[in-house]
């Protein structure tokens, strides 16, 4: 006998979700995951007519001739997760799944003061002297901390697993997000304080508000309000007698509390430019897009090609790609870009990353260069040795250990570094406020002109010490040994191939040619933190 297909039919019995957080949780799961179901809406006063316990929501499930009823929103969602395993209503990762279940359970049984004082009301807005008790404040702070810590752990865990982060509490949308959806609206309805909210909590809130599925749900609450029978006067008038509290309904568009609105606006505009005069600028932009799509962040990224001073002026951060450094500097000079680039890097100290030729341009000193042959931008107190490994035919790829990519408790795999006529950092120079005077008299060496950080944000981003982030062990020593000459012990320590000074970063190799977005992802995190810091200083 052929096995019967077990396709359950679901029917949700609940009250109007514009007031009911319990029904709204289940509805949110069904709608977000597009689980087919029918719905029956009843008045709260009629709950006992459909539920022996008088509690709703109920979920009816018909499967293989059996008809069962489940009440309690958490039990319903667990049943849906078991019934639809391919939809992954809980996170796939065991650690994240455990934390998601814990968070949902805490919301399900906790936060009693918030529940009893600030009833669910998805379309109302209360302003004025909203009462917040000491216990209420503790619960608000606990919610904000829970969201912030959940996001921090999730970002680290998904980075460790190399999986994409959609920005929800535990990566992809899950039952946990649905359980916090109604209480998230309470922050909007009652303008509850967000002063203790961390950026990760605020970023999650913005993700929820801006998700298309959640916006569709929001619209359904307003459609309910068009039906007079949906109104529950008690929930609309909970502050009756408080003349210092006003109530009205929000317009259909999502209005957020002031701080969240400010956060969303400020966090939605980070423009990263890639100098597009010559070299592998296209490859950088593709990896930047891949990196931004692969992790959660609180910013709206815009990646642009930079060929003019006007395009550079739009940028919050910049990449100088690999290519031919002499050609790039000459074209930049002819395009009236060279001085704006120096202002960007050395005066404003905006985040900048140079790869291969870009590292040469960012160096304060470069040898193997005839004076007048090319010009430098500067920004890194280092001397670079151009074409250190020889001609293009001697290019190579080598596995490189990059400790700065590691997350706590987890070491990253080696990075497939591509070296093409690559420079190395020959010497880390002492920091000078102006020009590197000690380098000026060296033969076949050019030095970047003097530029100094001026405004407070630039000085804050400045660092006097150069940090060595990666070396290529023994490469030069092996080349010397293969030619039958003595090995210099200093060479065996490895060639310096990645450095950072403040928010200026340089690599000898070409990450953009590998298809591996890990360094781009790491750098975007540095950019995001730097931009946030700059904006905070500028607002003071």
Residue at token pair 């957080």: 21
Closest CA to 360 of 327, 392, 313, 333: 327
- In the prediction, which pLDDT does 6 show? 59
| The 3-state secondary structure of 346-406, one letter per residue | HHCCCCEEEECHHHHHHEEEEECCCCCCCCCCCCEEEEEECCCCCCHHHCEEEEECCHHHC
Q: Are 59 and 12 in contact (CB under 8 A)?
A: yes
| pLDDT-wise least confident of 54-68, 244-258, 282-296, 432-446 | 244-258
Query: Rounded to a whole number, what is the distance in angstroms from the first to the last CA of the chain?
Result: 76
CA atoms within a 13 Å half-sphere pointing along the CA-CB vector of 37:
24
Catalytic residue among 439, 510, 520, 528: 510
With CA atoms as reference, report the closest residue to 381 among 465, 479, 487, 311: 465
Is the confidence at residue 157, as pLDDT, over 70?
A: yes
* Domain annotation for the chain: domains and CATH numbers: 9-260 (1.20.1050.130), 269-539 (3.40.50.880)
* Average pLDDT rounded to a whole number, residues 29-52: 87
Lowest-pLDDT range, 72-76, 167-171, 302-306, 406-410? 406-410
Among residues 364, 439, 512, 528, the one annotated as catalytic is: 512
State the average pLDDT over residues 443-454.
Answer: 80
Using 50, 70 and 90 to split pLDDT, how confident is the model at 392? low
Place of tokens 């359950």: 8
Number of alpha carbons in the 13 Å side-chain half-sphere of residue 488: 9
Residue 512 annotated as catalytic: yes
pLDDT digits (tens, 9 = 90+) for 11-24: 999 888 777 888 99
The answer on pLDDT for 390 being more than 70 is no
User: What's the pLDDT tens digit per position in 482-516?
Assistant: 444 343 444 446 889 999 999 999 999 999 988 88
Query: What pLDDT sits at residue 409?
Result: 62
* pLDDT score recorded for residue 396: 82
For residue 34, is it left (φ>0), alpha (ψ between -120 and 50) or beta? left
Q: Looking at per-residue confidence, does 168 or 387 come out higher?
A: 168
Q: Which of 77, 264, 315, 356 is catalytic?
A: 356
- The pairs formed by 165-169 with CB atoms below 8 angstroms and a separation of 24 or more are 165/294, 165/295, 165/296, 166/207, 166/296, 167/203, 167/204, 167/207, 167/296, 167/297, 168/204, 168/207, 168/208, 169/100, 169/103, 169/204
Quote the mean pLDDT of the chain. Answer: 83
Q: DSSP per residue over 482-505, as a string? A: HTT-PPPHHHHT-EEEEEEETTEE
State how far the Cα of 12 lies from the Cα of 87, in Å rounded to an integer: 19
The answer, yes or no, to whether the previous bond of 490 is cis (omega within 30 of 0) is no
510 noted as active-site residue: yes
Please report the pLDDT score of residue 459 as a whole number. Answer: 85
The pLDDT of residue 490 is 46
Angle at 517 between CA 516 and CA 518, to 5 degrees: 100
How confident is the model over 259-276, as pLDDT tens digits?
566 555 445 478 899 999
| Helix-then-strand count for the chain, H and E | 21, 19
Taking alpha carbons only, the member of 516, 520, 467 closest to residue 353 is 520
Q: What's the pLDDT tens digit per position in 116-154?
A: 888 888 777 777 788 899 999 999 999 999 999 999 999
Secondary structure element (H or E) that encloses residue 9, with its range: strand 9-14
pLDDT the model gives residue 251: 57
How confident is the model at residue 358, as a pLDDT? Answer: 93
Percent of the chain's residues with pLDDT above 70: 85
Render pLDDT for 192-227 as a digit per residue (tens, 0 to 9): 888 888 888 988 998 898 888 888 888 888 788 777
Question: What's the token pair of residue 77?
Answer: 């969602």
Higher pLDDT, 343 or 234: 343
CA distance 325 to 328: 5
| CA distances for 243 relative to 129, 130, 246, 472, angstroms | 9, 11, 7, 71
Which pLDDT score is estimated for 162? 86
Tell me, what's the pLDDT at 11? 92
User: What is the rounded distance in angstroms from the CA atom of residue 85 to the CA atom of residue 88?
Assistant: 6
Q: Note the pLDDT of residue 59.
A: 93
- More confident site: 311 or 240: 311
How would you classify the pairing of strands 495-501 and 352-355? unpaired
Instruction: Tell me: pLDDT of 435 over 70.
Output: yes
């Amino acid at each position: 006998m052929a096995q019967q297909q077990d396709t359950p039919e679901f029917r949700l019995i609940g009250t109007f979700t514009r007031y009911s957080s319990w029904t709204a949780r289940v509805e949110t799961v069904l709608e977000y995951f597009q689980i087919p179901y029918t719905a029956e809406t009843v008045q709260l006063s009629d709950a006992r007519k459909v539920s022996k316990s008088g509690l709703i929501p109920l979920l009816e499930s018909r499967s293989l001739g059996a008809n069962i009823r489940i009440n309690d929103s958490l039990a319903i969602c667990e049943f849906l997760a078991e019934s639809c395993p391919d939809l992954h209503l809980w996170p796939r990762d065991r650690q994240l799944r455990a934390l998601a279940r814990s968070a949902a359970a805490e919301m399900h049984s906790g936060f009693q003061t918030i529940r009893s004082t600030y009833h669910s009301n998805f379309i109302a807005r209360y302003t004025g002297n909203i009462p917040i008790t000491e216990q209420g404040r503790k619960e608000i702070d606990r919610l904000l901390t829970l969201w912030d810590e959940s996001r921090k752990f999730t970002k680290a865990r998904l980075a460790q697993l190399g999986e994409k982060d959609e920005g929800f509490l535990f990566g992809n949308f899950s039952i946990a997000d649905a359980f916090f959806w109604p209480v998230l609206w309470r922050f909007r309805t009652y303008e509850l304080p967000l002063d203790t909210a961390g950026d990760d909590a605020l970023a999650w809130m913005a993700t929820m508000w801006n998700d298309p599925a959640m916006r569709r749900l929001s619209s359904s609450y307003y459609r309910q309000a068009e039906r007079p029978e949906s109104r529950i006067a008690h929930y609309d008038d909970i502050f009756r007698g408080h003349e210092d509290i006003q109530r009205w309904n929000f317009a259909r568009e999502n209005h957020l509390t002031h701080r969240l609105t400010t956060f969303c606006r400020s966090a939605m505009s980070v423009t990263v430019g890639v100098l597009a005069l010559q070299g592998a600028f296209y490859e950088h932009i593709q990896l930047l897009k891949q990196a931004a799509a692969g992790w959660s962040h609180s910013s709206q990224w815009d990646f642009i090609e930079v060929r003019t001073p006007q395009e550079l002026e739009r940028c919050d951060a910049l990449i100088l790609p690999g290519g031919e450094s002499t050609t790039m500097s000459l074209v930049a000079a002819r395009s009236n870009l060279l001085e704006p680039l120096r202002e960007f890097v050395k005066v404003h100290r905006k985040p900048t990353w140079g790869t291969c030729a870009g590292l040469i341009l960012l160096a304060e000193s470069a040898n193997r260069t005839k004076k007048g042959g090319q010009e430098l931008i500067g920004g890194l107190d280092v001397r670079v040795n151009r074409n250190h490994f020889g001609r293009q035919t001697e290019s190579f790829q080598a596995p490189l250990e990059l400790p700065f990519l590691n997350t706590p408790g987890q070491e990253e795999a080696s990075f497939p570094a591509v070296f093409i006529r690559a420079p190395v950092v020959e010497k880390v120079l002492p920091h000078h406020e102006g020009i590197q005077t000690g380098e000026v008299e060296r033969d076949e060496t050019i030095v970047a002109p003097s530029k100094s950080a001026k405004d407070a944000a630039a000085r804050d981003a400045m660092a006097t010490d150069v940090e060595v982030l990666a070396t290529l062990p023994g490469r030069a020593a092996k080349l010397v040994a293969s030619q039958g000459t003595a090995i210099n012990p200093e060479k065996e320590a490895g060639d310096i191939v990645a450095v950072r000074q403040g928010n200026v970063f340089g690599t000898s190799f070409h990450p953009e040619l590998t298809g591996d977005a890990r360094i781009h992802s790491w750098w975007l995190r540095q950019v995001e933190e730097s931009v946030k810091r700059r904006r905070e200083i500028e607002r003071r």
